Chains A and B, each alone.
Chain A
Amino acid sequence: MLWGILAIIALAALFGLLLGLASVVFKVESSPVVDQIDALLPQTQCGQCSYAGCRPYAEAIAAGEAPINLCPPGGENTVQALADLLDVEVLPLEEEEEAHEGPIVAVIIEELCIGCTLCIQACPVDAIIGAAKQMHTVIESECTGCELCVPPCPVDCIEMVPVKQTITTWHWPEPQYDVNHTPAGNIFTTIDQVLAENAHP
């Protein structure tokens, strides 16, 4: 009896210790759900979701404070991916303005730039280079097209332009061959109709 109790206590102590150690050794720094959501967001850091960036939005989604359809740059695909990840219903994208076709980047009209550095401060990904009273320029490959640099510019010298498609970025379109054709459902309707006609001559 006594040995049994002792053995159980010893085992409990041992496993307790093991669990305690495991919680220290395999400690997870941040919520992995936030990371997973963040990985699906387009990282434009544009703030169109009303959060301060992609990660805060991810945190809000994880906390259940924000819906999944607030990200216009991500588009339907992001909503779909988030819905799959979180196992929630797909919501239609909330869009305030017309969606722009394809990716866009900021371009500074160099003749007009006065070198005020306001856009540099606004850029969330440090994609604008320049110094005070020196002309600024956008690093096209780093620009996420978030448009945050446009409003601060006092001389309106920043334009958002669509990324030019080249042979390397071009891709095969989705085949459109069967768009005008009778969809599968209609065939069955026809067969049903035929059957119905035959049944009631």
Chain B
Amino acid sequence: MSISTHIQRLWSFPGGLKLDGRKQLSNEGPIESAEIPHLLEIPLSQHIGHPAEAVVKVGDTIKKGQLIGHAQGAVSAPVHASSSGTVTAIEERLVPHPSGLPALCVIIETDGYDRWDSCTPLISMDDPQHKNLHALSAEQITDKVAEAGIVGLGGALYPSAAKLETARKKATDTLIINAAECEPYITCDDALMRNRPEEIILGILLIKKIVGARYCLIGIEDNKPEAFKALSDAITGYERAIHEHCEQTIEIIQVPTRYPAGGEKQLIQVLTGKEVPTQGLPMDIGIICHNITTAATVYQAVYRGEPLVSRIVTITGGAIKKPQNMEVAIGTSIREILDQAGWDKSRVDKIIMGGPMMGFALPSIDVPVTKATNCILVSEPGELATPPPAMPCIRCSRCADSCPMSLLPQQMYWYAKARDLEKIQDYNIFDCIECGCCSYVCPSNIPLVQYFRYAKNEIWDDERERNKANLARERHEFRQERLEKMKKAREEAARLRKEKLAKKKAEEKQKAAGGDGEKLPASSHADLIQEAIARSKAKKAQQQAQKRNTENLTEAQQKQVDEAERRRKKR
């Protein structure tokens, strides 16, 4: 083997725990294929960022791998149908989320044929020399990754294409593939490495090509010797391809098994000795980290043209009759896969999605498997400890000793409880990876991680509210300004109208004064009044004069009048 290593030694991260892995329960067998269920419920938001927007209608006939929701915005991922059938509804359904709230899902009634939509691979499978890999550009691969709806399958669910794109633009010299899988019980990555190592290696080559990294390290915990061997063999098998495409080989390094060695920042620290700066990203120190399952999914998208429509899920725990890894179509109900694996309903204690350290209890088992579902843990009574009621903090500092991020959980707990959100940020709460080590070691059983999640959420909430308030202030000020303007405009218009009216009146007066426009301004006010009085007197006199119709009478008329007068006097 000509694998030269530039890694001279391994480093370590502070804190962490030795945990009972309980991986042998599920990591022995092959990857079983779960049956395609009658109904698939595919959530439109299975990633960080904007939910996808449905592009199918109720009644549409669709095929496996067909786009059903397309990405919205820069940080988003599309969603594809995981089997062929008919869309029967697009509605809110319960999804696997700690809130127990529903989210928009596309419901597909499957036809049982599981017919693929036409897949367009970028590279044909029969390419033993891997010549076609040369011809591909980084953009082409990134576009394919985006199109396939690939997200970080290690648990972050960040759209991979967006991450790769950023890494490509920045100087990234080390690609780290995370195969540590440090959380107890979970073996889906282990199973993938044992069963499909070639796919992983080719996927890694593709990712490496995109980001242009010089070094590529695979970090794997030393409790997975079979997976390590399988991957090492695959690297040897693809040696020629690797040498042709990379200056450096792909190195696979076993790291000591200690939770949470699979945390991105912890693995980087163990492999390179570098620490990711506080509130920073690995990219800030020239490193990009991808999960091993993500690499295999990239392979599937590029070599087979298949989008992300299924994933490997570990079904394990004391209440499962045959713990195993299953390849499950996304959207399959968790109840169905539990039924397929066989479970003893009378012995069920907890049903957890994810592992015992970072997972959450499912609100219901009638929720679909999503891109995030790596493990379903069904424990029997006594298998997982139920924490007794919390006691007061005795400031023993065990939590600080166990913290892999070197934080001070007891201080942060104090401020979270007091809701002092500013102070808690001074203690770098946003560096907390929520691994749960502090809660695990706490002798007072204080649910520390829950407090930190709560505090983080409160801080985000406050920020959202502040942004909303700022927007409202802006709009209110704009409105005030507009109203002010309108008022001014109205006043201006009123003033103009008044002026115009005054002018008109003045003109009329001039006309009335006999058109002697020039004299008018000179004549005094009193004169004007006198003139007006004279005018009105003249008018009155004229009217009175007109009223007397006894003048200008004819003789006959005069006679009649005189006779009438005489009669009146007689009486």
Contact = CB atoms under 8 A, between A and B. Distances in A.
Contacts of B469: 41-43
Contacts of B45: 167
B99 A170 contact: yes
Contacts of A45: 472, 476
Contacts of B468: 43, 144
A180 interface: yes
Nearest to B456: A172
Contact of A54 (B390, B450, B473): B473
B340 interface: no
| Interface size classification for chain B | 35 or more
Interface in A6-54: 38, 41-45, 53-54
Contacts of A41: 469
Contacts of A171: 454, 457-458, 460-461
Interface in B468-503: 468-473, 475-476, 478-479
B478 A167 contact: no
Contact of B103 (A124, A166, A184): A166
| Interface size classification for chain A | 20 to 34
Contact of B446 (A167, A178, A183): A178
B128 interface: no
Interface in B366-408: 387, 389-392
A127 B447 CA distance: 42
Contacts of A170: 97, 99, 101
B473 A43 contact: yes
Contact of B95 (A38, A42, A54, A167): A167
Given A167-B95, A172-B457, A43 B392 contact: no
A125 interface: yes
A43 B450 contact: no
B424 to A, nearest CB: 13
Contacts of B461: 171
Given A165-B101, A167-B103, A171-B454, A178 B391 contact: yes
Contacts of A125: 472, 475-476, 479
A187 B45 CA distance: 48
Given A125-B476, A166-B101, A170-B99, 11 more contacts: A41-B469, A43-B469, A142-B471, A144-B468, A167-B45, A167-B97, A172-B450, A172-B453, A174-B454, A181-B391, A184-B392
Interface of A: 38, 41-45, 53-55, 124-127, 142, 144, 165-167, 170-175, 177-178, 180-181, 183-184, 187
16 contacts: A38-B473, A41-B469, A43-B470, A44-B472, A53-B476, A124-B476, A125-B476, A126-B475, A144-B468, A166-B101, A171-B454, A177-B446, A177-B450, A178-B390, A181-B390, A187-B392
